[in-house]
Amino acid sequence: MLTDNLPSLKAWTQGINVSFPVLSDYWPHGHTALKYDVLRSEGIAERAIFIIDKKGIIRYIDVHDINEDPGMNAIIRTLEEIEGKK
Amino acid sequence: MRFVLVPYMRRYSHDSENAALAAWAAWDQGKFWEMHDLLFEKAPELDRPILDDLARQLGLDMNKFRKAMEEKSNLPELKENLDRVHQLDIWSTPTAIINGRVVKGAQPIENYRKVIDEALGKSGLTPWVPAYLKALFHVLGPAPAHAQSREFGRGKVPLYIKVPDAKPTNEPKVGEEAPDFTLPSVGDASISLKEYRGKKNVLLSFLPAAFTPV
């Protein structure tokens, strides 16, 4: 999810292979990022990951430095935990 | 009672920015409301020659007025206020915040009166601080009579007022329900978080900008 408009996202995703929906939080600008408290004052989102389970409950939050790769281990662990509890 | 008016400068609109600057320049010469009314009369045709014309009509000191317009000395204040408005999750105009209640859109005057009277009744003799936001480009009608007759302040948007339906009062936390949203998606129509309820776990990834590495 990004605060860019849809045409920009289309141009971007054409160049890479994505197997998941890419959402545009462009209008009202950054509204959803704001709801998740990850909107920066420059109008862009933090590099943030939320894992939400089937009941709609947040299970994991990670807000990362914008220039850093968030890493996968904790995410995979959380996902396995949720899947395992089914 | 205090009344705060914040021009909502539309992004990418020079006329909007200039109109706000003209209003604040007129304020500096004690003619804010006069300029305010003329701006609403003339809108949306508000280019620089027209603004100069309005200033002349009001008998403003034209040297001072032109200087304020060229140097944009009031722009930082206007922009700071706009940032605050956005922080309150307000993205459209006109919007009024009356004692913490957000009233969106150009409503009939009775609606404002109702909210104001309610706030007055509730707070009794306790002083209260409403913020009243109004755009330079949308005609709302005359300011509420209550507001006109009392103190009017050009000030910062008071951020200490409570806005129930703006920013989340608590940031999202693990174990709490995730806020729902509906957004346009590349390829598909819109997607809502609630569509996944009971079906799939969701990994929501916010990214700063397109073309950043996933």
Residue pair A61/A49 in contact by the 8 Å Cβ criterion = yes
B210 found inside a domain: no
Is residue A3 located within the same domain as residue A20? yes
Residue pair B105/B92 in contact by the 8 Å Cβ criterion = yes
The structural domain count of chain B equals 1
Is residue A3 located within the same domain as residue A41? yes
pLDDT in the model for residue A60: 92
Is residue A41 located within the same domain as residue A2? yes
Q: Is the pLDDT of residue B153 over 80?
A: no
Is residue A41 located within the same domain as residue A59? no
Is residue A1 located within the same domain as residue A37? yes
Name residue B95's beta-bridge partners: B104
Range of the domain at B27: 9-73
Is residue A52 located within the same domain as residue A64? yes
pLDDT in the model for residue B77: 83
Is residue A67 located within the same domain as residue A27? no
pLDDT in the model for residue A84: 81
Q: Which of B170, B186, B214 to probe by mutation at the A interface, max A CB count within 10 Å?
A: B186
- Reported as a pLDDT band with limits 50, 70 and 90, residue B157 is very low
B78 found inside a domain: no
- Reported as a pLDDT band with limits 50, 70 and 90, residue B104 is confident
Is residue A34 located within the same domain as residue A7? yes
Range of the domain at A8: 1-45
Residue pair B172/A58 in contact by the 8 Å Cβ criterion = yes
B69 found inside a domain: yes
B136 found inside a domain: no
B46 found inside a domain: yes
Residue with tokens 């002349």: B56
Distance CA A9, CA A68 (A): 21
Residues of B with CB under 8 A from a CB of A: 83, 89, 91-92, 167-168, 171-181, 183-188, 191, 193-194, 196-211, 213-214
Q: Do B209 and A21 touch (CB under 8 A)?
A: no
Per cent of chain B over pLDDT 90 is 19
User: Which among A69-83, B120-134, B192-206 has the top mean pLDDT?
Assistant: B192-206
| The one-letter amino acid at B190 | S
Considering only CB atoms, B210 lies closest to which of A9, A53, A66, namely A9
For A63, the closest chain B residue by CA position comes to B206
Is residue A2 located within the same domain as residue A24? yes
pLDDT in the model for residue B25: 92
User: Which among A41-55, A69-83, B60-74, B176-190 has the top mean pLDDT?
Assistant: B60-74
Q: Do A58 and B200 touch (CB under 8 A)?
A: no
pLDDT in the model for residue B194: 92
The structural domain count of chain A equals 2
Q: Which chain A residues in 7-46 lie under 8 Å from chain B, judged by CB atoms?
A: 8-13, 16, 18, 21-26, 28-29, 31-38, 40-41, 44-46
Answer whether A53 touches B (CB < 8 Å).
yes
ipTM exceeds 0.90: no
> Counting Cβ atoms within 10 Å, is residue B65 exposed (0-12), middle (13-18) or buried (19+)?
buried
**Bigger pLDDT: B89 vs B156:** B89
Residue A77, min C-alpha distance to chain B (Å): 13
B28 found inside a domain: yes
Is residue A28 located within the same domain as residue A63? no
Name residue B96's beta-bridge partners: B103
Is residue A1 located within the same domain as residue A38? yes
Each residue's pLDDT tens digit in chain A (86 positions)?
A: 888 888 788 887 887 777 788 898 887 777 888 888 888 766 778 889 999 999 999 999 988 876 777 678 888 888 888 888 54
Is residue A37 located within the same domain as residue A53? no
